[in-house]
Amino acid sequence: MIYFRLGFVFFVISLIAGCSTLTLKPAEFSWPIESVLKIDKDGTVNEDRYSVSFNTKALFFEETKDSMAYAGKDLRVIRNMEGYYFITSQNFKNVYVFASAEGSLKLENKITISEIGMKNPVFNQRTPYIELVIEISVVNLNKDGIVRGEK
């Protein structure tokens, strides 16, 4: 009987150990510089260097209430060290923060930057933040929004 109990305990311990998730850390997901992506006629952007592609129609509809507003536009995209995508475009009022999901990008946060729209936004990687340069000012961002003060 004692052998049965010891065998059962050993079985349960090995089962629990076998179910643990393999984690590789630290991991760095950031892109050193932003990608300025041309939007194709179907509303899709493609970044070969980082193997990412997605359709922008829903993003432009969210920002402008016009799903066809992408025509002739560029999209600015950068990825931070945690793996979040920061996306904006000329005349956008917001920066959109997306996380990877199954076959999609899922909106995590919408950060309002300007009430009139940004003329020429530029992203830079300034770990641990994403730096957004707009006109003559600089704004530090993380997935939760604008970071003020500490660095």
How many domains in the chain?
1
What does the pLDDT read at residue 9?
53
Mean pLDDT, the chain, rounded, equals: 89
Tell me the whole-structure pTM to 2 decimals.
0.83
> Percent of the chain at pLDDT above 90?
75
Domain span at residue 123 reads 29-147
What does the pLDDT read at residue 3?
53
> Burial of 61 by CB count in 10 Å (0-12 exposed, 13-18 middle, 19+ buried)?
middle
Q: Which residues contact 90 (CB under 8 A, 6 or more apart)?
A: 73, 74, 117, 118, 119, 120, 121
Residue 108 within a domain: yes
Residue 96 within a domain: yes
Q: Is the dihedral of CA 11, 16, 22, 23 positive or negative?
A: negative
Given a contact cutoff of 8 angstroms between Cβ atoms, the answer to whether 70 and 60 are in contact is yes
The predicted model gives 50-63 an average pLDDT of 96
Residue 18 within a domain: no
Closest CA to 122 of 36, 49, 55: 36
Residue 74: pLDDT above 60?
yes
Residue 12 within a domain: no
Residues making up the chain, counted from first to last: 151
Residue 1 within a domain: no
Given a contact cutoff of 8 angstroms between Cβ atoms, the answer to whether 78 and 69 are in contact is no
Residue 11 within a domain: no
